[in-house]
Amino acid sequence: MNPQVSVRRRVAAQAGDWTDATPPLLRRVYAARNALDEAQARPRLAHLLPPDGMLGLEAAATLLAAAITGNRHIVVVGDFDCDGATACALGVRGLRQLGARRVSHAVPNRITHGYGLSPSLVEELATLEPDLLVTVDHGIACNAGVAAARARGWQVLVTDHHLPGEALPDADVIVDPNQPGDRFPSKVLAGVGVMFYVLLALRRHLRAQGAFADAVPDLGVLLDLVAVGTVADLVPLDANNRALVAAGLRRLRAGQGCAGLNALAEVSRRAPGRLTAADIGYAIAPRLNAAGRLEDMALGIECLLTDDAGQAREIAATLDAINSERRAVQQQMIDEAEAAIERVALGEAVPVGLCLHDPDWHPGVVGLVASKMKERLHRPVIAFAPSEPGSDSLRGSARSIPGFHIRDALADVAARHPGLVERFGGHAMAAGLSLHADRFDAFRDAFQAAVAATLPPELLAAEVLSDGALEADDFVRANAEALRDGGPWGQGFPEPQFDGEFDVLGWRVLGERHLKLELGGPGMRLNAIHFGGWDGTQPPPRVRIAYRLEPDDYRGGDAIQLVVVHREPV
């Protein structure tokens, strides 16, 4: 089954105050996103929100400063996704920049330890003899792990961005803009963004103590890591996050990124000087994430920490190979998920909240399966796999649609059915959970009931938002480049896309799945590509499409192409 899809045009706000350097088309796009001047559209680091108001930040700076001056052993504990990996590398690099001489790092193994700072991970960390653990991109829900660390006499600083549960962990300090009582204006920092703010506060604290006899360390050199982690975690790109991502992209484009990220861009065949947020999301981040999904994210973190360009290339090549394996595993699991959905659809309507499970699935890839099925069906989806082969414990990864808060839905199920869910956490659009295998059926029924009771039916109709139609003289390379470079685009500040009706002048299939089109209109002949758009049927003579206008770097020169995101007959 395919969801109903409608194309709706955004309503642009009134014209703003722009310089002549901003093309009229880009002004229109910005205005539709309520950005009415250069500062709103392209915020700079000078516009970054000050650290004041983030609860626990000063206490965290005091704790870290004492560890640095006391030459204590600090262990930064990362996570096995891209945000967690970049936050870990950021923490290690930043603490060393600020004077820490004994800094190590660790990361849980998805299969062995599960999510975050678990008691089993704490037991392994004992061999490192840490004095202070700093969690990044996790910890707010790791009550048992924090308690285990504190029982050993270690200090614990939790830095996280996820939503807290009813009880906070008993850490020495917690920094999380989503914890109760926090007054920081932006609640959508990624884990790497929270750690960057911790480093800013620490630098300020150390400067006040007179710690820097010479130059004050420049933490801006770490913004490449902040950009990659922020984009990869799909947090909304509010003005604060756009300032961070844009600054990091500028470093990457100038060839000033760390050796690992430069190598990942190279192995992804992305031109460094033209890197965009989309390149991070679709090329760099998946290769980093692949390590945590199928192998061990320690390899990804090693890539981000090395300063040896040759070593970085070797690790990037390994990550690229792991990513190819991940794609093959993912496609097999998606095929199996689609077959299961087709079997359900033959007998009854597909539930508004869908739970999928296969005992042979890989726990590191279920999030991608949930995401693909959510996109196809436009409804909340949770995909489950055994925590490890033969295990009685299941790990689920949930993905939601706009307007439905998936973490709140899990909280509702957990509250109504005590003991059903072992643990859960996440955001509005994505969450994770674990439960015993013999409770899958009961959870599925409870989740479907919760979604059916709270999800408005109108949200099940997929919607493509358009920035309107383009005129014949808009289809030029200068506009395509301005749109590409006008970001960073992403969650909450979506990439520009337009819609219109065109004649189909020619078509052919590429790679068995993609559709190459030649489209025409009054005075126009345009090349277009619809990735994954081949459905086995010949396109009609005339179509309405929603599309992105992009430079066609493959053909070069003044060439442009339309990247189709939705197509329907006229």
- Ranges of the chain with pLDDT below 70: 1-3, 13-15, 344-348
- Sheet of strand 354-357: strand arrangement: 354-357, 381-386, 393-399, 430-436, 423-426
Given this model, what pLDDT does residue 206 score?
97
For 186, 370, 397, the CA distances from 429, given in Å and listed in that order, are 17, 11, 11
The confidence score (pLDDT) of residue 443 equals: 97
Please tell me the pTM assigned to this model: 0.89
Which backbone phi and psi does 197 adopt, to 5 degrees? Answer: -65, -35
Residue from 190, 195, 292, 293 nearest 232 by CA? 190
Question: Are the beta carbons of 51 and 204 closer than 8 angstroms?
Answer: yes
Contacts of 131 (CB under 8 A, 6+ apart): 67, 72, 73, 74, 154, 155
Residues 219-244 have pLDDT tens digits of 999 999 999 999 999 899 999 999 99
What pLDDT score does 385 carry? Answer: 94
Place of tokens 């945000």: 83
Model pLDDT, residue 388: 80
Structure confidence by residue, pLDDT tens digits, 372-384:
999 889 999 999 9
Work out whether strand 462-466 and strand 5-9 pair parallel, antiparallel, or are unpaired. Answer: parallel
User: Among all chains, which residue has been given the structure tokens 């979506």?
Assistant: 494
d(CA 482, CA 161): 33
User: What confidence score (pLDDT) does residue 437 get?
Assistant: 94
For the chain, which domains are there?
5-34+465-569 (2.40.50.460), 52-256 (3.90.1640.30), 349-460 (3.10.310.30)
